[in-house]
Structure 1
Amino acid sequence: MSQSPEKKPRLDDPCINLNLEMNRKAHYTDSFENPSLIVRRGFPINITTTAPIDGVKLVYIAGTKHPQRDSQRLFGWKLETKSSETNNYQLTPPSNCAVGRWTIKFTIDAKEVEMQATILFNPFCKDDQVYMECPEEQEEYILSDTGLVFIANSWRIKPQGCGWVFGQFESRVLECCLALLERSPLTPTSKSSATLVSRSMTALVNAQDDNGVIEGDWSGDYSGGTDPSEWTGSVDILLQYLETEKPVKYGQCWVFSGVLVTVLRALGIPCRSVTNIRSAHDTENNLVIDIFHDRHGNRLESDDSVWNFHLWNEMWTKRPDLPDGCDGWQALDATPQEMSDGCFQAGPASLNAIKSGAVYLPYDARFIFAEVNADRVYWREDSDGNYRIKKIDKKHVGRMVVTKAIGCNDVDDITDQYKHKEGSEEERYQTRLAVTFGTEPDIYENVEDEDEVKMKFHCEEDYIIIGQPIEYTVKLILKDMERATALFNATASVYGYNGKFICNVQSHKCELLLPEQKVFKGRIESSEYESVVRSGSIIKISVMYDLKEATDMGFLEEEIPLRAPPPKVEILSQEPYIVGVPIQLKFSFKNRFSSALTGGYFRLDAPGFSSRDRLEIDQKLLEPGIECSYRVEYKPRKKGKINLVVSFNSDQHKGLHTYKHINVQNSKSDDF
C-alpha cells in the first residue's frame, strides 16, 4: 500500500519553481504589482520541479457562498512534460475554466506541494470568449491603466474628456476585484462566463442592495463622504473598500463607470466607458419619456427623466446564449437606476440587439434601448381633465454616444452602433418595433396638430464658463394668423446632470404683440446661478405661450451647457521622462467666479500617486481674479503612456478637472 503524501503547503517550496517572470510576461500580466502567479486561461504555465510529478489535485477558491473541495479531476486542465531530464512541465488551464483563485496540489517525492495561481479571462487567446484580434484594441481595453471618461452636457459641443486613473495593475486592486468575485452569488461554473461575471460586477460595484463598493448619492449634500466630482480614479475607492469592508461614499455615474472598467479589466474582460448625451431614464417600461402639463401649461412632476448625460460601460465577449449576430460589444451599467432580477444591475445587452430593436433579449436591452432612443411624449390636460398627446419629440434622446478613441485622447462617436441615423426609416422602424414590447404599444396614435406659433431659441455661446453672464433670445413666428397676443412666460432653472430640478434662478412674464414684439431677450447674471450649480449642471430655459385669440398653447425647452474653469498643469522637467526619475509639476488655478473661494486644494491622481493627498494652497481666501499655484514631484514607476489627472477643489466648488498626457520611457534611448 502506498504511503499518503505529506502535506506541505508552501508557496516557495524548493520542490517547485513557478518561473514567475517568464509566465507573467507570456500571459501579459507582468504589469500587476502583486508578487504572485497571475496567468490567463488557455495559455500554458511553465513550471520546473526537483523531481517528477506523480499526481495533481485542483482546488477552486469559490468564496463563502460555495464550498471548496479537492478534486482529482483536471476539468480540462492539461499537464504536459516538456523535459523529463530537467523536470520541466506545462500546466494549461482550459480556455473556458472558471476565473479566480486556484490552488494546484502536486505530489512530488511523496510530498504534497501547493501552488497558488490567479486565473484571468484571456482576450489574447483565440479560444477564449473574450478574445480580441486587434493588438491596438487589446492595448486600449485591457492593458491601459489610465484613460478618459466623457462629461458632456450638450450634444452641440465636443464632449469634454476628463482624465481617469483606472489603475487595475496597482497593488491590492486585483485582490479587491477577486474578493468581489468570491462574494458574488455565481457558482464556480458561472464564473467561467464573462457575460455572467460582468453582470454580477454591475451589481457589486454599487452598494444599493448588497453592500457593494460605492454608495450613490445625487442629493447635493455629501457630508460624511467625498463629493462624487472629486474622484479622478478607481484605486483609492477600491482600496478604501477593501480596507474598511464598507461602501465608499459617494459616487455618481462616471464614478461607477470608471470603477467597473477597473474591475473588469483586472479580471481580463475587455471594457470601456461610454457616455450617452441626453440619456433617457424610463421608469414605466413603455420605452418613451412622458412629460405632462396641466391645462394652464404648468409642467407636472414625473418619474421619467432625461439626463444631460449618463455614463455606462461596454464589455467585449461572445454571446452563445443569444441568436447569431449578438457577439461583440455589450452594454452594461453599474449605476443603480432600476432593479433587474431582484437587484440593481443592468446588462450585458448586445449592441446589435439594441440597434435592431430586439429588446426582449437578455439582459436589460429594453431599458438600455430607451436610454438611447426613447421619444419624448408631451401630454396636455384638456378641459375635461383628460390628458392627450400634444407632440412627440423624436430627436431629443441619445443625441450622441461616445467613448475614448483607440490610442489617443480623442473622442470616438459610436452612436451608429446603438441606432440607425436619427429620423431614417430604419430608425423609426426600430423604435416602433421596440415600443411594441413596452407597456403602451399604441402610444403613437392620435397626436394633435402642431402649434400656431413657431419658437426659435438662440444663445451666442456654445457653452458658458461658470462665472460669466448668460444672454439668449426667443423669437416667435406666426404660422397662419396675421396678428396675435401671446401671454409669454420664460423661466430659467438649474438642473442636475441627471435631469433633476435644483432651483429656479429667474422668471419673466409678459404680453407680446405679434408680429411686432416677436423677440424676447433674456440675461442671467453669474451671481444668480453660480452658487447652486453642481458638476454637469445645465441652465434650462422653459418657454411657454398662450394665445388670447385662439385655443393654442405651446412650449419650448432649451438647455445651456455650463463648464467649470479648469486648473492648469505645467511640466517643469524636460523630456524624455524616465522611469524612477522625478518629474517636477506645477499646478495653477485662477478664480474666475464672482465670489471668493475658501479651503482650496489640488489633487493629483496618477499610477503610483495617491489622490487621497490634499495639496493645500497657501491662500486661505482666494479672491476673484487671483491665481494660486502648487508644485509637486511625481516619480513614474513604469514605462508607458499615462494621464496625470489634476483637480482643484474648494468649499464652494468641487472637481474642477484637467489632465496632462505623458510618455514614460525605461531609459533615454527608448523609442516609442
Structure 2
Amino acid sequence: IRLLVDGTPNANGWAARKIPTEGEDEKKKNNRISLQVDSPSYAIIGKYTLLLEVRSAKKEEEFPMDKQDLTLFLFEVDIYFLFNPWKKEDACALQSPEQIAEYVMNEHGQIFLGSSDKPRPIPWYFGQFEKSALHAALTLLDNAQLPPQNRVDPSIILRILSSKICSNPGANNGIFSSSYNVRPITPEKNGLTSSTAILKHYLASNCRSVHGGSGTNWQHAAILCTLSRALGIPCRIVTVYNAACRADGTDNNDVHWDTKQRPLQKLNSDLICTSQVWNECWMRRVDLPN
C-alpha cells in the first residue's frame, strides 16, 4: 500500500498525514516527525511493515525523478491491524462500552462445568494480550493458507480458527489432536490452567499438537475465545446443562420404551450430556441476507 503523506485518502480508503510532535523540547522536535496512518474499516488484518520514502523537494522538471535524492527508512517495529469493535463501521463493532470491556478486553473469566445441580466454575486466564495469543492466531491462519483477501471477513477467519483448534496431529496442524482414543489433558494433570500456557506450549513445539490428547470442549472454547479476542473479535463462552446430544445430527432427542415402559437401549442412541460448552462471537454477516 503506497501512500502520499498529504492526508489524501487513496481509492481504498487509506491515508497518511504528518501530525505535530508533542511532549518534546524544540530541539528534538526539529529532528523528529510524527505520522498518522488512517486505515479503512475493511483493512486486511495481520502484520504490516512500514517503509518511509523521502525524496527531494525540488521540482520534478528541474530534477528528474530517476535522479532525485531518495532515502528509505524501514521501521523495525512490526505493526498489526486488527478488527476494531470501537469503530461503528467495523465488521465487529459493538455499541456498548460495557460489552467491549467484557467480551474483548477482559483477560480473566470463569468457565462453568459440573452439572445443573452443582455448577462448578473454573477460573481461567485468557491472556489475549500476550504475544503468544496473536502469534498463534496469525500462525494458524498462515498454516491454513488463508488468502489475504479473506482476512477481512471475521466469519471466514473464525471458521479457520475453530477448525484448527482440534485437528489432525502433526507439525503445522491443530492445537489439540483430533484423536479421541487418547486420554484428554486436564489442568490437574499438566498444570495448563490458562490459554497462554497452552498456546506457548503449542508454539514452542514448532506448531505441533499439544501432547496429551484431544483436550475437552471447554478447553477448545477457552482457546478460541483467546484467539478471537486477540484479533479484536468479541467472544464469550457459554455453558448449557442437560444438553441433548443427537447421534444423527438432528435437533430432536428421542427416547423409546417397550409396552412395559422399559427403555429400549438399542434404539436410545441419543444422549443427555451433563454440560456442553461453546463460543459465541459478535460480527456483521455480509454473506447473509438482510
Q: So what's the TM-score if we normalise by structure 1?
A: 0.35
Distance, in Å, in 2 between the alignment partners of 1:178 and 1:133 is 27
Q: Does 1:131 align with 2:93?
A: yes
Q: Does 1:169 align with 2:133?
A: no
By percentage of residues, which structure has more strand? 1
Q: Does 1:236 align with 2:197?
A: yes
2:15 to 57, 60, 78: 78
Q: What corresponds to 1:261 in structure 2?
A: 225
Amino acid aligned to 1:93: S
Do the aligned partners of 2:128 and 2:230 also contact (CA within 8 Å) in 1? yes
Distance, in Å, in 2 between the alignment partners of 1:54 and 1:305 is 59
Q: Give how far 1:55 is off.
A: 5.5
1:246 to 204, 208, 220: 208
Q: Which consecutive residues of structure 2, in runs of 5 or more, have no partner in the other structure? A: 22-29, 56-69
Q: Does 1:289 align with 2:289?
A: no
2:270 to 301, 304, 317: 304
For residues 111-260 of structure 1, the aligned pairs below 5 Å read 111-115=71-75, 116-154=78-116, 157=117, 159-208=119-168, 211-215=173-177, 222=183, 226-227=185-186, 230=189, 231-244=192-205, 245-248=207-210, 249-250=212-213, 251-260=215-224
2:42 to 96, 99, 106: 96
By percentage of residues, which structure has more helix? 2
Distance, in Å, in 2 between the alignment partners of 1:303 and 1:150 is 26
Do the aligned partners of 1:218 and 1:252 also contact (CA within 8 Å) in 2? no
Q: Which consecutive residues of structure 1, in runs of 5 or more, have no partner in the other structure? A: 1-52, 57-72, 325-672
Distance, in Å, in 1 between the alignment partners of 2:246 and 2:177 is 22
Do the aligned partners of 2:168 and 2:179 also contact (CA within 8 Å) in 1? no
Q: Give how far 1:195 is off.
A: 1.4
User: Match of 1:108, SS?
Assistant: strand
Which of structures 1 and 2 has the larger relative contact order (alpha carbons within 8 angstroms, sep 6+)?
A: 2
| Cα pair distance change 1:97/1:121, threshold 3 Å | same
Larger Rg: 1
Amino acid aligned to 2:99: E
Q: Give how far 1:120 is off.
A: 0.9
Amino acid aligned to 2:241: I
Deviations 1:653-672 (A, max 9, x none): xxxxxxxxxxxxxxxxxxxx
Do the aligned partners of 1:121 and 1:267 also contact (CA within 8 Å) in 2? yes
Do the aligned partners of 2:236 and 2:279 also contact (CA within 8 Å) in 1? yes
Distance, in Å, in 1 between the alignment partners of 2:11 and 2:47 is 15
Q: So what's the TM-score if we normalise by structure 2?
A: 0.76
User: Match of 1:91, SS?
Assistant: strand
Amino acid aligned to 1:77: W
| Cα pair distance change 1:108/1:270, threshold 3 Å | same
User: Match of 1:189, SS?
Assistant: helix
Do the aligned partners of 2:115 and 2:275 also contact (CA within 8 Å) in 1? yes
Do the aligned partners of 2:255 and 2:263 also contact (CA within 8 Å) in 1? no
For residues 413-452 of structure 1, the aligned pairs below 5 Å read none
Q: RMSD between aligned alpha carbons?
A: 2.9
Q: What corresponds to 1:321 in structure 2?
A: 287
User: Match of 2:94, SS?
Assistant: coil
Q: Give how far 1:237 is off.
A: 0.8
Distance, in Å, in 2 between the alignment partners of 1:81 and 1:283 is 61
- How many residues align structurally? 251
Q: Give how far 1:292 is off.
A: 4.7
